[in-house]
């Protein structure tokens, strides 16, 4: 019985660690949040995340593509038009994850206002 609990715990830790490693890219979360409601183009991302270079955004987008989290759609005809969006298999779970992170952030923000402490990441 205890061995079953330990195996479940180890599996849980491994899975959560894998996800957190994926999200640790410098601009990864910002990119995912930007495409939360609709597909985005690279130019849109550069306007939404002005501190990130196009090179850094492209690199993160490629990593997300390789992980099959994001899909790149080439909608070009005469003019280059590429959009990035969540893959169908990731859309719902990623949306839920981002919504939960937002809720958690609001809770943390409220606690820091109540105690008048600054959040360490600001």
Q: If you write DSSP's letter for every residue of 39-75 in order, what string do you get? A: -B-HHHHHHHSTTS-HHHHHHHHHHHHHTTSEEEEE-
Tens digits of residue pLDDT in 83-110? 999 999 999 999 999 999 999 999 988 8
The answer to whether the beta carbons of residues 70 and 86 sit under 8 Å apart is yes
Average pLDDT over residues 49-78: 92
Spatial separation of the C-alpha atoms in residues 31 and 67, rounded to whole Å: 14
Mean pLDDT of 40-55: 94
- Give yes or no for a contact between 48 and 36, defined as CB atoms under 8 angstroms apart: no
Q: What angle do CA 25, 12, 67 make, to 5 degrees?
A: 35
3-41 pLDDT tens trace: 667 888 888 899 999 888 888 888 999 999 999 999 999
Total-model pTM? 0.77
Q: Output the six-digit token pair for 47.
A: 């306007």
């Amino acid at each position: 019985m205890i061995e079953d609990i330990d195996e479940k715990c180890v599996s849980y830790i491994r899975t959560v660690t894998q996800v957190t490693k994926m999200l640790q890219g410098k601009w990864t979360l910002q990119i995912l949040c930007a495409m939360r409601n609709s597909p985005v183009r690279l130019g849109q991302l550069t306007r939404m995340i002005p501190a990130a270079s196009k090179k850094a955004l492209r690199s993160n987008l490629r990593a997300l593509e390789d992980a099959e989290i994001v899909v790149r759609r080439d909608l070009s005809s005469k003019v280059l038009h590429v959009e990035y969006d969540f893959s169908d298999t990731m859309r719902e779970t990623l949306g839920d994850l981002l919504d939960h992170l937002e809720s958690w952030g609001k809770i943390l923000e409220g606690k820091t206002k109540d105690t008048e402490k600054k959040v360490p990441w600001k």
